[in-house]
């Protein structure tokens, strides 16, 4: 359920679904359907990580300038009373600098994200699907914006 992934609360997602489709779903149903859709997508991406064993013959052409940013964030685990680190990778195409309100600014467009609650080595392996899809190996220049944590150095190596 895409609304469950986009909206901050499952109750709000269920309300929007009702407004769009004239059907009713509870917040619990929205939560279950969102979790099921997310699990299915994780399965697809994990299977696609076979790229690691058989990389494409030629890299996917990438943009002239690509931004790669990654970080870990501590999140509470629902119903467990514990916290864990979720790692996230963000990729975007860096646009030429432009003047806006007497300031030179740079915008990044075509953003995509990849997140997992897993250890660093697994995250790096699984993120290969997104980095290959976005053309990181074939990009002209890749700039990495990170905090310098050791696992991030392994990711961008």
Report the pLDDT averaged over residues 97-124.
95
Predicted confidence at residue 119, as pLDDT, reads 94
Query: How far is C-alpha 33 from the geometric centre of its chain's CA atoms?
Result: 20
* Per-residue pLDDT band at 111 (split at 50, 70, 90): very high
In this predicted structure, the answer to whether residue 1 has a pLDDT above a threshold of 60 is no
Residue 98, exposed/middle/buried by CB under 10 A (0-12, 13-18, 19+)?
Answer: exposed
Report the pLDDT averaged over residues 22-46.
75
Domain range summary for the chain, segments of one domain joined by +: 2-52, 65-156
pTM for this predicted structure: 0.70
Which pairing describes strands 141-145 and 65-77: parallel, antiparallel, or unpaired? Answer: parallel
């Amino acid at each position: 359920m895409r609304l469950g992934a986009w909206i901050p609360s499952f109750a709000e997602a269920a309300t929007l679904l009702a407004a769009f489709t004239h059907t009713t779903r509870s917040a619990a149903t929205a939560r279950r359907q969102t979790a099921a859709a997310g699990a299915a997508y994780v399965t697809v991406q994990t299977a696609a990580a076979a790229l690691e064993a058989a990389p494409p013959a030629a890299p996917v052409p990438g943009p002239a300038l690509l931004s790669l940013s990654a970080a870990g964030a501590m999140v509470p685990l629902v119903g467990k009373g514990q916290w864990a680190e979720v790692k996230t990778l963000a990729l975007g195409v860096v646009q030429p600098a432009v003047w806006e309100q007497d300031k030179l600014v740079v915008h990044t467009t075509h953003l995509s994200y990849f997140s997992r609650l897993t250890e660093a080595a697994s995250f790096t392996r699984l993120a290969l699907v997104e980095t290959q899809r976005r053309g990181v190996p074939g990009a002209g220049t890749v700039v990495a914006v990170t905090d310098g944590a050791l696992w991030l150095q392994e990711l961008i190596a």
